[in-house]
Amino acid sequence: MNDMEMQLRSVNMGQETFNDALKYVKEARECFSSNRYSSMWSASRSAMFNMCLSAESDLSKLIALSLKRIGSSKRFPLQRVILKNLTDKSKENQYPPDAIDTIVKKYNYLLLINDYKPASLPNGYREAANLRNKITHYSFSKNHSVYSMTIVDDIEKSLREIRNFILHIWSVSSLGTPSWVNSNEYLELDRITQIEEKSQ
């Protein structure tokens, strides 16, 4: 792939990071089976970061796609400001507006603009994100969770919950279901790109 093709390839952060998570979950399981615990914990950390990034990037994307679809037919708080923050390259270094500056707020904004009532984040997603946060904000008090011998089981459960959350937010948005979220195997990026091109 030359530089021009790399620049033109469409980016799907949700798909790419979910795919990465699949790779690291498999690697963690293999390391556990062969008693390579340091590598197991390393792969588990990477898996958690990627699966949560997948869900959270899709949340932002779905807000933008929903706002674009709605257009000017409805009015929501900070509609134009939020859409610009999520899509305008000149805004990449700006903090998001208060209405979407946390995952909970983003989730509820997505619900709002798709005519759903505010709600708490699903329990399964919160548990998965909690494990990710223990890794991100590590301290000795979190050692038992982060360096657990059950970490592979924990990340496999988290992957299921993240998958369910991604399916849920796409359903809320009424934008169909991305095929990649049902994948159980890591795919090489070039193969993914080819599959996307054939499906267009």
Axis-axis angle for helices 13-33, 151-173 (nearest 10): 160
| Residue ranges covered by each domain of the chain | 13-199
Distance CA 64, CA 16 (A): 19
Distance CA 124, CA 166 (A): 12
Full pLDDT tens readout for the chain, 200 residues: 455 444 445 579 999 999 999 999 999 999 999 999 999 999 999 999 999 999 999 999 999 999 999 987 778 888 999 999 999 998 888 899 999 999 999 999 999 999 999 999 999 999 999 999 999 999 888 888 889 999 999 999 999 999 999 999 999 999 999 999 999 999 986 655 545 544 44
Do residues 28 and 60 lie in contact, with contact meaning Cβ atoms separated by under 8 Å? no
Distance CA 124, CA 185 (A): 22
Per this entry, what is the length of the chain? 200
CA distances (Å), 103 to each of 10, 69, 89, 138, 151, in order? 25, 22, 21, 20, 24
